[in-house]
Amino acid sequence: MTPVATPFFFYLLSGLALLGGILVITRKNAVHSALALILTLLALAGLYLMLYAPFVAGVQIILYAGGIMVLFLFVIMLVSIEKSQREDQFNKQWIGGLVGAVALGALFVRVFVRSKALHDLTGMPMAQLPEQSNTQEIAVYLYGNYMLAFEIASLLLLVAIIGAVVMAKKRI
């Protein structure tokens, strides 16, 4: 079950995800940022595949990259972006930001080190479930144990859709 060239693909995909993330926050043009975000999402989908979760990867591509990002792009393209392009890339509070980032990073490292001491992360076996049943397993849990949560979530989405239609319809 061990796939070939795992470290290579892992580093490749995570590198792409990180690159995308950095590009998102450093690009001046909002459309470029959105496209970099798409790159990150696709890289994440690849990582999901490596974790033997093809369903999650597929859904990530369909919904996130193919749906939500299209929505983002619509909004960005319709909103006038000239103003944002003239703004400064980094504002005057970068010192405070740096301090905050370092503090957060220190927190992550501490948590990681402590939890590593409690559980040996490297020895953990990968995905005990065979990949074939990723979809089935999700379905069993989603429509079985978590049925109520699923229904509530879909109801929420329905309300959101209706709200959006009502808001937009007034303008037609």
Which residues of the shown chain bind other proteins in the complex (CB under 8 A)? 3-5, 9, 29, 31-32, 35, 38, 46, 49, 54-55, 57-59, 61-62, 65-67, 69-70, 73-75, 77-80, 82-83, 131-132, 134-136, 171
Do 67 and 74 meet the contact criterion of CB atoms below 8 Å apart? Answer: no
Collapsed DSSP state (helix, strand, coil) of residue 5: coil
The least CB distance from residue 10 to other proteins, in Å, is 12
Q: Which is nearer to other proteins, 25 or 70 (CB)?
A: 70
Q: Which is nearer to other proteins, 83 or 113 (CB)?
A: 83
> Residues 6 or more apart from 108 whose CB is under 8 A from it?
none
Residues 138-165 as b/e (b if ≥16 CB within 10 A, e otherwise) read: eeeeeeeeeeeeeeeeeeeeeeeeeeee
Q: Which is nearer to other proteins, 71 or 98 (CB)?
A: 71
